[in-house]
């Protein structure tokens, strides 16, 4: 137990109840983001001092209930049960009490020290609704504090209350939520059976009894290994028989109905509403945004806007970052004497850091847009509008955003998958996102098309490649969803939250924290991998070739830059990457690739842009922009290459691992090395199979 001057507080509440805003009001800048142990559910902690006490806040994930069906709810419930916070602050949206209080009654069942915070009290006043707080406290047995996160009203009062409860100045009544007499009888019977057998790690027995009646799988499992199992089952059988017979429903529906009825009755006593059924402001906006004809075009326009913002606007800072690193490289190039250490620093480490930071503008803009959608309430509408199509491939409407983002860059797209609740949906979406051809692959297609195709055909070939990627993605999604995550579909039973004015501060904070998470976790892996890849391309060197070029360089009037290019090209087959390229020839030959294309593909693991520049190195034409034409020409004139090889190469580039960064982010976002490995194997396999089919078919037609 913590000392008496520390108060350990958990914040619970529905999504969209303003929980995060209240948390921010309380904790200010003292925040720490992490994950709940073992799951990818974000955990935000904060500390503050008030009247000599240290208050430790944990923001539980936003949930509608405490059922064991989703990871968020399980996390919230286990946290309250086993971490035993000193008190639970339940934040409810005062404009929508009927639904928000369902969670409150469940928290009452848990017999925690409960403090109910009624948020958005300013809106309630505007609606001319009157709430009788005293009567409310009498009915729920918990203190109620009206606050507004927007106007900051009531926050000091809330902090005072926390301290007063801890110091014993106020005593909460800890009412139990009373069910009907029939239910209470059964609850009592069950408590009597289970409390004799075990201490159940301090889990309240009344809560266990209620959950047993509801047939909660987790609590049933707790009982299964206990000797009281049979006695419990006997009672449970008679409960379900009784309720089915007299009320025609299953026990869980029965208890849910009891809760709703209790809330309904309590609200009748405490809340006087203005007119109930008039069209709300939100409904009026939705009459336009979800219009049966205009809803779709508006939706597409918003999506297009986000895409353009992320990748067009993001282009400028990306160029700045790029030129900054170029300048840095040039500067260091000038002052550090030539050595291996210099090469590691410039071509390995600095290039690697650049590779991490280059994604930052995209990530920041995209996440700002996403949190804007989330904060205003349009995100749920995105899913609402497009769900019918996404559901055909077994996914949820929300998977749409990561997918189209994939056309820009796979890394932010994989991170956008966070907005999905269901793990199966998350993994499946992540598996197929890379097939939406990212922007960095475009230069490769351009090069290959200009090498092997007539200018008139270029557009069609390019379109075909993109379309092919989409088809593969859709088929893969259907395949993965119906095998690995069979029957694990995320229901669409969800709230369409009211439109709200977003808080700029929260949006910026969220975006910033996510960006930092990317830099910290993915960044280190990307950096490490870039350095390893640099070694693989540069070492070992063949000393004879090196000596040959050393003497050439010493000759009068030698073109050092050109000689360097030629040496690099000649050294390549001796490097680790080159040897791997040659080693892989037996399996790449059926696709039409020789060792040189293999090296280009290996280099492409760092980033797809590098495929073109590394081909420049391989074919010793230098890697300047102006040399693209001569590179295309050397590809065209090479006797080993043909249209068939070009097609096969483009298909392979489209489908294989997008880049090391994406693998790093995949593993971090899925929280599973196993899935990250499967992602690597799957994309390589799919790429190989389709390149093989394309090459063999094209060769058959003599292309």
Partner 1 sequence: MMTNRPQVESILLSDASIGIRYRVLQVTAKGIIRQRMLDMGLVPGVRLVVIRFAPLGDPIEIRINRFFMSLRKEEAKYVFVEAMGPCPHRHPRRFKRHFHGRF
Closer to partner 1 at the Cβ: 103 or 694? Answer: 103
φ and ψ of 590, to 5 deg = -60, -15
Closer to partner 1 at the Cβ: 337 or 491? Answer: 491
Closer to partner 1 at the Cβ: 65 or 446? Answer: 65
Q: What angle (nearest 5°) sits at the alpha carbon of residue 636, between those of residues 630 and 637?
A: 90
Evaluate whether 408 touches 307 at the Cβ level (below 8 Å).
Answer: yes
φ and ψ of 8, to 5 deg = -100, 110
* Six token digits for residue 31: 């925040």
> Quick count: other Cβ atoms within 10 Å of Cβ 279?
9
Closer to partner 1 at the Cβ: 167 or 240? Answer: 240
Closer to partner 1 at the Cβ: 286 or 567? Answer: 286
CB of 379 to partner 1, least distance (A): 13
**DSSP secondary structure string, 84-102?**
--SEEEEEEEGGGHHHHHH
Closer to partner 1 at the Cβ: 131 or 386? Answer: 386
**Spatial separation of the C-alpha atoms in residues 133 and 116, rounded to whole Å:** 11
Which residue shows structure tokens 């995320």?
A: 490
Closer to partner 1 at the Cβ: 70 or 613? Answer: 70
Footprint on this chain of partner 1 (rule: CB under 8 A): 64-65, 67, 69-70, 95-96, 98-99, 102, 244, 248-249, 252-253, 256-257, 260-261, 276-279, 282-283, 286, 290-293, 295-296, 299, 380, 384-389, 391, 491-498
Provide the strand spans (E) within 284-421.
none
CB of 19 to partner 1, least distance (A): 16
Where are the alpha helices (H) located in 419-454, listed in sequence order? 423-432, 442-452
Closer to partner 1 at the Cβ: 262 or 468? Answer: 262
CB of 142 to partner 1, least distance (A): 20
CB of 298 to partner 1, least distance (A): 9
Closer to partner 1 at the Cβ: 299 or 311? Answer: 299
CB of 500 to partner 1, least distance (A): 13
Q: Which one, of 223, 222, 251, 216, lies nearest residue 237 by Cα?
A: 251
CB of 32 to partner 1, least distance (A): 29
**Spatial separation of the C-alpha atoms in residues 690 and 592, rounded to whole Å:** 12
CB of 388 to partner 1, least distance (A): 4
CB of 380 to partner 1, least distance (A): 8
Orientation angle between helical segments 442-452 and 628-637, nearest 10 degrees? 50
Beta carbons within 8 Å of 263's beta carbon, 6+ residues apart:
97, 98, 101, 102, 105
Closer to partner 1 at the Cβ: 287 or 322? Answer: 287
Closer to partner 1 at the Cβ: 4 or 248? Answer: 248
Closer to partner 1 at the Cβ: 171 or 495? Answer: 495
CB of 427 to partner 1, least distance (A): 17
CB of 77 to partner 1, least distance (A): 13
Closer to partner 1 at the Cβ: 13 or 469? Answer: 13
**DSSP secondary structure string, 108-172?**
HHTT--EEEEEE-HHHHHHTT-EE-HHHHHHHH-SEEEE-BTTTTBTHHHHHHHHHHHHTTSS--
Strand, coil or helix: 293: coil
Assess whether the previous peptide bond of 540 is cis (omega < 30° from 0). Answer: yes
What is the distance between the terminal CA atoms of the chain, rounded to a whole angstrom?
A: 75
Evaluate whether 53 touches 402 at the Cβ level (below 8 Å).
Answer: no
Closer to partner 1 at the Cβ: 154 or 424? Answer: 424
Q: What angle (nearest 5°) sits at the alpha carbon of residue 580, between those of residues 575 and 585?
A: 130
CB of 235 to partner 1, least distance (A): 21
Long-range contacts of 542-547 (CB under 8 A, 24+ apart): 542/570, 542/571, 542/574, 545/570, 545/571, 545/574, 546/571
Evaluate whether 477 touches 395 at the Cβ level (below 8 Å).
Answer: yes
Evaluate whether 120 touches 148 at the Cβ level (below 8 Å).
Answer: yes
φ and ψ of 178, to 5 deg = -85, 125
CB of 108 to partner 1, least distance (A): 16
Evaluate whether 91 touches 119 at the Cβ level (below 8 Å).
Answer: yes
Evaluate whether 419 touches 398 at the Cβ level (below 8 Å).
Answer: yes
CB of 93 to partner 1, least distance (A): 9
CA distances from 10 to 48, 75, 548 (A): 13, 12, 71
The rounded radius of gyration (Å) of the Cα atoms in the chain is 31
CB of 1 to partner 1, least distance (A): 33
Closer to partner 1 at the Cβ: 21 or 100? Answer: 100
Evaluate whether 489 touches 394 at the Cβ level (below 8 Å).
Answer: yes
Q: What angle (nearest 5°) sits at the alpha carbon of residue 111, between those of residues 105 and 113?
A: 100
Evaluate whether 462 touches 428 at the Cβ level (below 8 Å).
Answer: no
CB of 281 to partner 1, least distance (A): 12
């Amino acid at each position: 137990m913590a000392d008496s001057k520390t108060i350990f507080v958990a914040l619970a509440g529905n999504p969209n109840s303003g929980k995060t805003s209240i948390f921010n009001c309380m904790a200010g800048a003292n925040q720490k983001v992490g994950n709940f142990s073992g799951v990818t559910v974000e955990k935000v902690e904060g500390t503050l001092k008030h009247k000599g006490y240290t208050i430790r806040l944990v923001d539980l994930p936003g949930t509608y209930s405490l059922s064991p069906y989703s990871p968020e709810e399980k996390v919230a419930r286990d946290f309250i049960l086993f971490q035993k916070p000193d008190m639970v602050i339940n934040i409810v949206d005062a404009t929508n009490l009927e639904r928000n209080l369902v969670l409150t009654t469940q928290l009452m069942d848990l017999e925690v020290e409960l403090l109910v915070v009624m948020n958005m009290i300013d809106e309630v006043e505007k609606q001319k609704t009157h709430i009788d707080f005293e009567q409310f406290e009498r009915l729920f047995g918990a203190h109620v504090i009206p606050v507004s996160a927007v106007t900051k009203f009531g926050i000091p009062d809330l902090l005072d209350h926390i301290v007063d409860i801890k110091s014993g100045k106020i005593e909460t009544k800890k009412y139990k939520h009373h069910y009907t007499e029939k239910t209470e009888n059964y609850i009592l019977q069950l408590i009597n059976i289970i409390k004799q057998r075990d201490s159940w790690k301090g889990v309240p027995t009344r809560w266990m009894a209620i959950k047993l009646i509801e047939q909660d799988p987790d609590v049933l499992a707790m009982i299964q290994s206990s000797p009281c199992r049979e006695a419990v089952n006997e009672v449970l059988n008679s409960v379900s028989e009784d309720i089915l017979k007299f009320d025609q429903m299953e026990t869980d529906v029965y208890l849910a109905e009891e809760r709703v009825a209790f809330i309904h009755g309590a609200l009748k006593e405490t809340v006087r509403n203005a007119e109930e059924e008039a069209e709300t402001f939100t409904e009026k906006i939705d009459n336009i945004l979800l219009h049966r004809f205009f809803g779709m075009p508006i939706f597409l326009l918003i999506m297009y806007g986000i895409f353009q913002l992320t990748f067009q606007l993001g282009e400028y800072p990306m160029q700045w970052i790029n030129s900054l690193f170029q300048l840095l490289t040039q500067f260091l190039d000038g002052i550090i004497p030539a050595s291996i250490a210099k090469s590691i620093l410039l071509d390995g480490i600095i290039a690697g850091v650049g590779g991490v930071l280059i994604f930052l503008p995209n990530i920041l803009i995209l996440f700002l847009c996403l949190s804007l959608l989330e904060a205003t309430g349009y995100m749920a509408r995105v899913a609402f509008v497009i769900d019918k199509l996404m559901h055909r491939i077994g996914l949820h409407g929300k998977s749409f955003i990561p997918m189209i983002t994939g056309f820009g860059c796979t890394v932010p797209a994989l991170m956008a998958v966070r907005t999905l609740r269901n793990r199966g949906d998350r993994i499946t979406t992540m598996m197929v996102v890379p097939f939406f051809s990212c922007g960095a692959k475009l230069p490769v297609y351009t090069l290959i098309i200009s090498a092997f195709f007539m200018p008139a055909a270029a557009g069609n070939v390019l379109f075909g490649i993109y379309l092919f990627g989409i088809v593969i993605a859709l088929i893969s999604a259907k395949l993965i969803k119906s095998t690995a995550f069979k029957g694990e579909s995320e229901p669409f039973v969800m709230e369409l939250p009211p439109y709200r004015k977003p808080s700029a501060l929260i949006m910026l904070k969220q975006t910033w924290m996510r960006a930092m998470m990317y830099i910290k976790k993915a960044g280190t892996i990307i950096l490490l991998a870039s350095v390893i890849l640099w070694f693989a391309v540069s070492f070992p060197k063949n000393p004879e070739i090196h000596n040959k070029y050393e003497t050439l360089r010493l000759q009068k009037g030698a073109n050092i830059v050109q000689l360097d290019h030629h040496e690099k090209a000649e050294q390549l087959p001796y490097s680790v990457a080159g040897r791997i390229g040659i080693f892989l020839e037996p399996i790449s030959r059926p696709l039409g690739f020789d060792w040189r294309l293999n090296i280009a593909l290996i280099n492409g693991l760092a980033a797809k842009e590098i495929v073109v520049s590394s081909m420049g190195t391989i074919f010793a034409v230098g890697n300047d922009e102006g040399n693209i034409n001569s590179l295309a020409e050397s590809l065209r004139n090479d006797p080993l290459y043909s249209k068939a090889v070009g097609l096969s190469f483009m298909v392979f580039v489209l489908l294989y691992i997008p880049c090391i960064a994406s693998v790093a982010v995949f593993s971090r976002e899925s929280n599973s090395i196993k899935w990250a490995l499967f992602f690597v194997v799957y994309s390589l396999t799919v790429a190989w199979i389709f390149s093989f089919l394309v090459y063999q078919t094209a060769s058959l037609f003599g292309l």
